[in-house]
Amino acid sequence: MKSDTAVHEENGLPGAGVALRAGLVGRGIQQSLSPRMHVAEGTRLGLDYEYHLFDFDILGASDSDLPSLVEKLGREGYAGLNVTHPFKERVISCLDGLSADADVIGAVNTVVFGPSGPIGHNTDCWGFAESFRRGLHAPRLKTVVLLGAGGAGLAVAKALLDLGAGRIAIADTDPGKSIRLSKHIGETYGADRIADATDLEAAVAGASGVVNATPVGMAKYPGTPLPVDWLRPDQWVSDIVYFPAETELLKAARAIGCQVLPGAGMAIFQAVMAFRLITGVDPDPVQMAAHFGAR
């Protein structure tokens, strides 16, 4: 087995004994549990690991400041960054390359600084798929309604298709975004498997399951992304929001009798992969989940 030092040096990262610095870039991220998970697992593994928040709301920064921040952190020796709302697509223009998944998805949630410059990855896709496989019992995937065509929605769409979804109907408050997502992902998976949901109520009525990949349900954006009386007991409902742990959508769906998949699983598993990419060391998913749930 390679030492931490060897793994780090192969990836152009600091060797053992040198502080690894990483962070999260986004807006409204003060309640994020990413710092807790990353730092606690780094400490458990004997890494000198720092993880900082770069909250554009707190910094009073504009979206146009993103390129200069990414360049500055790379110059300062950061090992990597996590990227969240609203920068998962915008950050691509700040990078020197993309992983295969990030290229297909068209969104990045993890940046690794290495010898070739900043490279973008997408761990949301794997994180959602792993959570889905473990968190639902025999879910039907004939037709899925996906709410939200932003960076998270792009990753979830690919994950669902890789999991075997027959068809995905996408809805967004900006119809242009759902059309663009359908076209982008459809180029890889086929236009017949993904399309814009022109009539959302009808799409939900015919769906096996529903995924909320919008910020609606977060403490900052309370409410539900669709009328809950559209749901049926035989459907499964997933939400990528993890704070609060049970959103209004999931609470209502559970009361109806639906199988539900909270956002915590995706948050934990995307962090597992992001930790591995940033540090070059394999974390323990069970321990990461324990760090996530610690109070």
Q: Which residues are catalytic?
A: 88
- Residue 182 falls in which region: left (phi positive, over 0), alpha (psi -120 to 50) or beta: alpha
Phi, psi dihedral angles at 70 (to 5 degrees): -60, -45
Helix axes 124-135, 151-163, angle to 10 degrees: 50
Whether residue 157 contacts residue 292, with contact meaning beta carbons closer than 8 Å, is answered with no
Q: Give dist(CA 197, CA 34) in Å, integer.
A: 33
Phi, psi dihedral angles at 215 (to 5 degrees): -75, -5
Alpha carbons within 13 A on the beta-carbon side of 26: 21
* Helix/strand/coil percentages in the chain, nearest 5: 45, 20, 35
As given in the structure block, the two tokens for residue 195 are: 């399309």
Q: Give dist(CA 51, CA 208) in Å, integer.
A: 39
**Distance between start and end Cα atoms, the chain:** 34
CA dihedral (149, 153, 159, 165) positive or negative: negative
Tell me how long the chain is: 295
Q: Give dist(CA 199, CA 288) in Å, integer.
A: 40
Residue whose pair of structure tokens reads 């409204």 in the numeric block: 28
Residue 286, number of CB atoms within 10 A of its CB: 10
Listed residue (20, 7, 27, 23) closest to 221, CA to CA: 27
